[in-house]
C-alpha cells in the first residue's frame, strides 16, 4: 500500500504539527521538498539527524509540535540528543523513521543490514514506543493517535516507514534536479577529470551514495575504498590513511551533504595537516542520492570553512579547465588541499552498485593490498594558486 506525501502532510497538520526537520532518505519520496513549500509547517533542512532533533526540541520549547524525519542509519546520530535531551527533559517528539535493511529485504545494501535488524529492538531498549506504518491514511492516523497517548506519558513516538509506502505528492511537480542545473559539469564529468590526474599509486576514499557508484562505474581500481554508509566520515577515513601512510597520496571524494553532516572534521584535518591529502567535494547543492532534496551548501561557502580550518591550499572550480588545473596542481604540491567543485545534479541513468562486484570486505582487502605496495611518490614544489 502507498500513501502520498500530500496526504501525510495533511494528516500531520490535522494533528497540529507545525515544525519539521530531518535528513532525507529515498523512502521519503518528495516529502522534504513538499514540506519546504508548505506555508503551514515551518521546516529546517538539517545537516545531521542529531541537529534535526535539536531544532525540533527548540521549536517544541517554543510551543510548536514537531516532527523529525530520518533514515534508520541516522539513529546513530540521534541517540545522544534523544536520550540526554528529549528523554531527560521530557520533550516528546514524533519520529518518522525510514527502515533500510529490514529483515524482509535481505537484498538491501549491506551497510543497512545490522541497523535494519536492530531498529525495533533499539527503540524498545530506549523505551520509545513505535508502530509500523501500513501505507494507508487510516494506518498513519492510527499511528498518530498512538503518538498522542505516548506524548501524554512524556514519551516520544516513532512511525516506521518501509520502501515504497510513500509516493510523491499530487499537485505541483517538484524536481530536485533543477537547483544546480546551471553548473556545466556533473559528478561523472568531474570524476573523469580527477581520474586523469591520479597516478596508479594514489589511494581514493569515496563517500557513500552516487559518488562512489559513479567512481566504480568510471574508474574501478584496487586503490579505491568505496564507503557505503557512515555518511560524513569519508574524509576522516582518508585522512587517517594519509597520516598513517605519509608516502602515499590520498584523495577523499566527498559530497556536500556528507561534509555538512560532520563539518567539525575539517578543523581536525586542518590541525593534523596531512601533507599527502587532497579533499575533493563534489557539491551539487543537494542530497542527490536520495532524490535531490536541497542541502544548505548553496548558502554556505564550504571553501571558506576549509581556509578557516587550516587547509594549506583551497580552490573552488566550476569549469572543466578549472578542475583539471586544480586537480593536477593539488596532487603535486603539499597539502592538505581542499578542492570544491560545483556540479549539476545529473547522473548516468544506470549506476552500478559496488556490491555487484565486491562485498565490502573484498573491497577492503583489495584496498589494503594496493595500500601496502611499496611504491612511493615525491611531492614537487609547485605552488597551488589560491593557497592561503
Ligand atoms: C546517517 C545517514 N543519514 C542519511 C543517510 C541517507 N543518505 C545516503 S546518501 C545521502 C545523500 C548524501 O548527499 P551528498 O553527500 O551531498 O552526496 P550526493 O548524494 O548529493 O552525491 C543520504 C542523505 C545515510 N546514509 N546516513
Ligand atoms: Mg550532494
Structural domains in the chain plus CATH codes: 3-167 (3.40.50.970), 187-371 (3.40.50.970)
HSE-CB for 100 with a 13 A CA cutoff: 21
pTM of the model: 0.94
Q: Which pLDDT value is given to residue 180?
A: 59
Pocket test for ligand 1, best of 255, 286, 300, 344 (most atoms within 8 A of CB): 255
3's grid cell: 500513501
| Ligand 1 proximity of 288 Cβ (cutoff 6 Å) | yes
**What is the CA(257)–ligand 1 centre distance, in A?**
6
Q: Which residue has the higher pLDDT, 172 or 316?
A: 316
Backbone angles phi, psi at 314, to 5 degrees: -135, 130
Mean pLDDT rounded to a whole number for the chain: 93
- pLDDT (average), residues 114-125: 96
Closest CA to 24 of 40, 48, 1, 5: 48
> Which residues have C-beta within 8 Å of that of residue 387, sequence separation ≥ 6?
312, 313, 314, 333
Instruction: Supply the DSSP symbol for 384.
Output: P
Q: Which pLDDT value is given to residue 373?
A: 81
Segment 347-387, tens digit of pLDDT: 988 899 999 999 999 999 999 999 998 665 555 444 434 33
- pLDDT (average), residues 339-345: 98
Identify the burial level of 378 via C-beta atoms within 10 angstroms of its C-beta, where 0-12 means exposed, 13-18 middle and 19 or more buried.
Answer: exposed
Residue nearest atom 17 of ligand 1, based on CA coordinates: 255
In this structure, are residues 245 and 367 in contact, taking their beta carbons and an 8 Å threshold? no
Q: How far apart are CA 263 and CA 256, in angstroms?
A: 10
**What is the CA(384)–ligand 1 centre distance, in A?**
31
Q: Which residue has the higher pLDDT, 269 or 107?
A: 269
186's grid cell: 556533473
- pLDDT (average), residues 20-35: 96
Identify the burial level of 332 via C-beta atoms within 10 angstroms of its C-beta, where 0-12 means exposed, 13-18 middle and 19 or more buried.
Answer: middle
Segment 130-185, tens digit of pLDDT: 999 999 999 999 999 999 999 999 999 999 999 999 999 887 665 544 555 789 99
The answer to whether residue 186 scores a pLDDT higher than 90 is: yes
Q: Which pLDDT value is given to residue 29?
A: 87
Q: How far apart are CA 62 and CA 33, in angstroms?
A: 24
Q: Which pLDDT value is given to residue 170?
A: 81
Amino acid at each position: 500500500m502507498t500513501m502520498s506525501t500530500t496526504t501525510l502532510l495533511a494528516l500531520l497538520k490535522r494533528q497540529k504539527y507545525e515544525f519539521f526537520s530531518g535528513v532525507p532518505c529515498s523512502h521519503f519520496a518528495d516529502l522534504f521538498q513538499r514540506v519546504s513549500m508548505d506555508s503551514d509547517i515551518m521546516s529546517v533542512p538539517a545537516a545531521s539527524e542529531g541537529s534535526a532533533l535539536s531544532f525540533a526540541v527548540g521549536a517544541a520549547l517554543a510551543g510548536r509540535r514537531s516532527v523529525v524525519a530520518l533514515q534508520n542509519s541516522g539513529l546513530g546520530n540521534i541517540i545522544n540528543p534523544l536520550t540526554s535531551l528529549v528523554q531527560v527533559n521530557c520533550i516528546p517528539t514524533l519520529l518518522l523513521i525510514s527502515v533500510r535493511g529490514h529483515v524482509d529485504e535481505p537484498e538491501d545494501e549491506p551497510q543497512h543490514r545490522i541497523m535494519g535488524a536492530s531498529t525495533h529492538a533499539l527503540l524498545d531498549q530506549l523505551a520509545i514506543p513505535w508502530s509500523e506504518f501500513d501505507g494507508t491514511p487510516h494506518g498513519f492516523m492510527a499511528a498518530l493517535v498512538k503518538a498522542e497517548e505516548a506524548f501524554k506519558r512524556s514519551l516520544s513516538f516513532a512511525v516506521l516507514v518501509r520502501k515504497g509506502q510513500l509516493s510523491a505528492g499530487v499537485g505541483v511537480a517538484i524536481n530536485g534536479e533543477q537547483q544546480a542545473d546551471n553548473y556545466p559539469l556533473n559528478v561523472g564529468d568531474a570524476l573523469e577529470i580527477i581520474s586523469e590526474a591520479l597516478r596508479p599509486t594514489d589511494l581514493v576514499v569515496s563517500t557513500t551514495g552516487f559518488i562512489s557508484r559513479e567512481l566504480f562505474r568510471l574508474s574501478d581500481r584496487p586503490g579505491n575504498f568505496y564507503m557505503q554508509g557512515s555518511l560524513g566520515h569519508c574524509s576522516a577515513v582518508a585522512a587517517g590513511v594519509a597520516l598513517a601512510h605519509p608516502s602515499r597520496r590520498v584523495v577523499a571524494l566527498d559530497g556536500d551533504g556528507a561534509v555538512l553532516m560532520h563539518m567539525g572534521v575539517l578543523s581536525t584535518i586542518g590541525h593534523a595537516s596531512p601533507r599527502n591529502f587532497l579533499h575533493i567535494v563534489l557539491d551539487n547543492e543537494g542530497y542527490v542520492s536520495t532524490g535531490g532534496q536541497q542541502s544548505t551548501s548553496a548558502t554556505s561557502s564550504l571553501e571558506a570553512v576549509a581556509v578557516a580550518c587550516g587547509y594549506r591550499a583551497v580552490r573552488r572550480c566550476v569549469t572543466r579547465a578549472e578542475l583539471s588545473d586544480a586537480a593536477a596542481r593539488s596532487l603535486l604540491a603539499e597539502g592538505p588541499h581542499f578542492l570544491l567543485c560545483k556540479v549539476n545534479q545529473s547522473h548516468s541513468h544506470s549506476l552500478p552498485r559496488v556490491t555487484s562486484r565486491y562485498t565490502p570486505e573484498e573491497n577492503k582487502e583489495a584496498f589494503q593490498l594496493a595500500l601496502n605496495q611499496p611504491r612511493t611518490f615525491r611531492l614537487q614544489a609547485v605552488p597551488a594558486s589560491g593557497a592561503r
